[in-house]
Each structure stands twice: as structure tokens, then as C-alpha cells.
Structure 1
């Protein structure tokens, strides 16, 4: 099969949207989007050389996959099985695996489960799927770098909930009552968006707009589902990272990433042995500074091996 764009039934009532492009005899690559819950974009395809047999897909419940937002039978293990099902469907033996943020989490989990199918790994903004990382970002970094925004973030919660703000947010986001989940989802997404950018368009939440009618961001619901469950990881990825030493890799890391700081990438690199390329003028957003250029170069070099 030379190319494909459409839905693939992976069972459990899920149909995931997938796109396969590039020459059938070209080196194969897999791109894993972030979130969890966001989806693939045309800009992701532009990271790869044209002579790449590239598979991109929207994970269960995300992007164009159906049913949209579905969280049943939606765990890291399910996503790994979906990746293997797609690899087998399109007769790909081994591939380069690329992902950033949550996509890096899933890339590592997949590589640890199926190292024999991975020719190399390129990661950006490493997230290892732990509660500790989320607490650092939202309960340590947020009040230190954006204290007024942290006040906005906490203002949505009742006093007893502030003993565990993250757990309270995830419970609210997953509450079926729109009066509860609507403002929580918007506040979570707004806070995360500000933390992801070096120069955010706004540095505060618009509290009056949080409960207003209108469309809601999709990602907070999937993130709450995954984060509340420890990203459905059986064991810490960092503890197992030394098993990846035979797999070549490259890590691209923004110096000023407030969500996935350099310390995480360096901790992973120490176990794995992959180099970390720090982008001095970048935060978490892939569009920052020289991040895209660094990713393109790393992917091209890895694909040429």
C-alpha cells in the first residue's frame, strides 16, 4: 500500500484516523502527537524529509478519530497496540519514532515494549508521565514564574480542594455537569497554554469567560483521564530507560520550557545515552526559536543512518 488517509477500526468501538505518505521503499517513520488528546497537524509532516514513508495518526478519542473525545478503552497500552496494528497493516518492519511532550512519553513506552521495531528515536520536550512532573509544573514553576496566574488557577477551587489542586481540577474536568467541567477545562487549558509559551498573548485567565457558553478545548478532558491514572504506565519510564541503550536517539530540549524542563531530558539521557540538544531561545512550544530546525536536522540525520 503506497499511501492511505482515512479511518482504521482498532476495536473497542474506536476508529482512529491515520495518514500514510511517501514512497513505499523509503525509510519509515512514525510521528506521535502530544496532549494526550490533541492530534496531528500538517506542520508535523513538514518535520520529515519528503523521501520518508511517514505514518501519522490521531490517537483514540483525539483529532479526527472517532468517537471524538471517547475515553473508554483508552489507555497507554491501547495506544501501543494501535501503533503495532498500524505497523502490521502497512507492512512496516522498523521505523524511526518521533514525538514531543506526551508524544515523547508514548514514544518511550512504545519503544520499551517493541524495541525490535524501532530503528531510532527523536524526542522533543521530554515528559515521563509522572505526577511529580505535573506537580512541579503547576504547583512549583507556575507560582514562581506566574504568581498572578497561579492565583487565578486556585481561585476556581474551593478551600478544601486546594490541598490537592491537580486532583481537584481533574475531578472537576471529568464531572458530567457542564457547570462544573466547563470553567475547569478552560482554566486548565488556559494555564497550560500560558506556561507553554515564552511570550504568551495574555498572562492571566479571563475569569469572567470561564463559564461562558461555547465550544470547549478537547485536550483537558483526555489529559485529566490520563493524568489522574498516572498515564496508565505500569512502571516508571526512567527506571527502564537503560534498556533503550542499543536504540540510537536524539533529544531536542527548550532551555526555557516551563512544562517539560531540561532536567527531565537530562535525567533520561543519563540512563539512555542519547545526546540532548538544548535550544537556548525556546520554551515548550515547538514553534519557539530554533526548535523546528533542530528537529528537522535530527530527523534527517537519524533517517539517513
Structure 2
């Protein structure tokens, strides 16, 4: 979870100097804001989730006097429309949207910065369009595999947060608890809001707590009204999980050779339960020119101690 940074608490230099909605087809409009110095070093920030949306705090990773930063809310996320739409929402669609944004602003090459799912999308884009990427700064590396998803929501919590995993399972009917991941994905992708909404709130709280090394609140919500506003990420995440993130098995790691010649840094929390360090090590070994920095005493979230400072250093370098 991000700390509460808002437009009102940000210095003027970190506020957008322009923002617009771009039509990318298929009925989708994506929100794009520009921060920093127009004509400066071009950088695109890719939020996580999928579905979380860009936040005010993300702007503070950059140097507004030097950088021209594009923060994009991906399809169905944040301020993009329609909200939480999974129609025509695939990894290939998001890559095509990035290319549309790049061409719209006449950018030859740009730096990609992203964490968690944002790192996945950055790698997928860079492997598809290496000639368009000047460098990469990635956090909490996720390669988009079914194995990683099962670790994040089942195997890891079962080992390190068994009480939370038990509570997660207990929010399901007894006959669905044998395979809780499949059960939640089925519920989250069900068109019936009465089925979808309670699971969305439980999933969101569960993932939020797992993202922190020392979460302040590990309780999962009970009796969520079916008409309560759906939280970000849960619905779109389930859509992507159901479709294996629209990637072939092992695709990003097997194509890592395409990143040769692109400099990059991977920032990885030592105790990241959602995206453990072995994935970062695997990509660093397969990506010529990558630098891996492990942050001790940190979990998954960008606001874990030392993570944002490491990201800022990597971006500045």
C-alpha cells in the first residue's frame, strides 16, 4: 500500500502540467498525465496490479527539473474508462497502448519504470520493442507465471502467514476450500456482483497485508455489502490470472536475450512474499547488463524501508 500522498501535499513541481484522456480503441479511454519538465528525459511509469492505477506518490520517484514523466492508468484502472473493464484488456493491448502514447507524444525512446505487475508489463514491452527503450528500472519482479501466482496467494502465505491463509480460505464455502485460488478467480470473474463483490474485498485486503513485511492490519473483511464500491486490482487481477497474464509459459524469461543492450536495475525486497527474490535473480542472470539490488528488511510494497530511495538512485543513474 502507498502512504497517503495527495495533490494537496505534493510540492508544485510534482503536480501534472498536463493530463488527458486518450482513446485507444475497443471502447477504452486511458488517462495520461505529464509531470516534470516538458522535453526532458522521457520516462513512463507503469503501475502494478493489474488494475491499481497510478498514484500521486509515484511522481516523487523522479526529478521534476530533469525528467518528463508520463504516468498512465492502464485499461480499466484508475481514472481510465470504463473502470474495471476486462473487455479487450490483455497484455498485448496494454503494449499497444504504450506504443500509441509514445507515438502521440513523438518520443523516440523512453525509460520504463514499474513494480510488480508494472515490471511484467515493462519487460513484455521491452522484449517486443527493444529499440524504443533507453533503460529499465524494475521493482518486485514478477514474470507472469502460474507458479508465481500460486506462490503469492497459496504456497507462500500457507508457510509464512498460515493464520491469514486459513482466514482467506474460510471466507469460501467449505466445498470450495480445496483449491482456494481457483475458487476466488471463479468468483471474481463471475458477472453476478453479489458473488463478485465480497470476494473482491477479501482478496484486496489479503493481498495488501501480504505486501508488507510487518502489516498493521491482517484482518479480512466480513459482511461486505454487495453494492459497496469494488476495490482496485481484484477484478482485473483475476481476469489476468485466469488467462495466465496472456503470456506463454516462461515467455519473459526465455526472451530475456532481447533485453541485451538495454541497461537496467532490479530493486528487490529480500522478504517479498508476493514476488520472491528468485525471480529477480533468474532475470538478472538472463539479461546482459542488468544490475540487481536486494533491499534487506523489505517486503513487496514500494513504501517498504529503503525501496523508494533505491528506485530514485537507479532512476537518477
Name the TM tier (shorter chain): over 0.9
Could you tell me how far 1:255 is from its partner in structure 2?
A: 0.8
- Structure 1 residues without counterparts, runs of 5 or longer: none
1:116-175 deviations in whole A, cap 9, x for unaligned?
Answer: 000000000001111100111222110111111111111123344334321211110111
The answer to whether the 8 A contact 1:125-1:253 is kept is yes
Could you tell me how far 1:3 is from its partner in structure 2?
A: 5.6
Separation (CA, whole Å) in 1 of partners of 2:22 and 2:168: 39
1:173-194 deviations in whole A, cap 9, x for unaligned?
Answer: 1112233112211111111011
Separation (CA, whole Å) in 2 of partners of 1:42 and 1:24: 18
User: Which residue is 2:223 aligned to?
Assistant: 209
User: Which residue is 1:76 aligned to?
Assistant: 91
User: Which residue is 2:215 aligned to?
Assistant: 200
User: Which residue is 1:67 aligned to?
Assistant: 82
User: Which residue is 1:283 aligned to?
Assistant: 299
Q: Does 1:42 align with 2:56?
A: yes
1:261 to 267, 276, 280: 276
- Once the two structures are superposed, the pairs formed by residues 1-305 of structure 1 within 5 Å of their partners are 4-50=18-64, 51-206=66-221, 208-211=222-225, 214-234=228-248, 236-273=251-288, 274-301=290-317
Separation (CA, whole Å) in 2 of partners of 1:45 and 1:36: 19
Shift >6 Å, 4+ stretches: none
The answer to whether the 8 A contact 1:169-1:184 is kept is yes
The answer to whether the 8 A contact 1:146-1:203 is kept is no
Cα gap change, 1:201 to 1:3, in 2 (>3 Å): closer
1:249-277 deviations in whole A, cap 9, x for unaligned?
Answer: 10001111100111110111010131111
Could you tell me how far 1:211 is from its partner in structure 2?
A: 4.9
Separation (CA, whole Å) in 2 of partners of 1:25 and 1:175: 45
Q: Secondary structure at the match of 1:276?
A: strand
RMSD: 1.6
Q: Secondary structure at the match of 2:114?
A: strand
1:188-217 deviations in whole A, cap 9, x for unaligned?
Answer: 1111011001221222324x3345652221
The answer to whether the 8 A contact 1:148-1:204 is kept is no
Could you tell me how far 1:4 is from its partner in structure 2?
A: 3.1
Separation (CA, whole Å) in 2 of partners of 1:165 and 1:114: 37
Separation (CA, whole Å) in 1 of partners of 2:228 and 2:38: 44
Separation (CA, whole Å) in 2 of partners of 1:209 and 1:164: 22
Separation (CA, whole Å) in 2 of partners of 1:41 and 1:33: 8
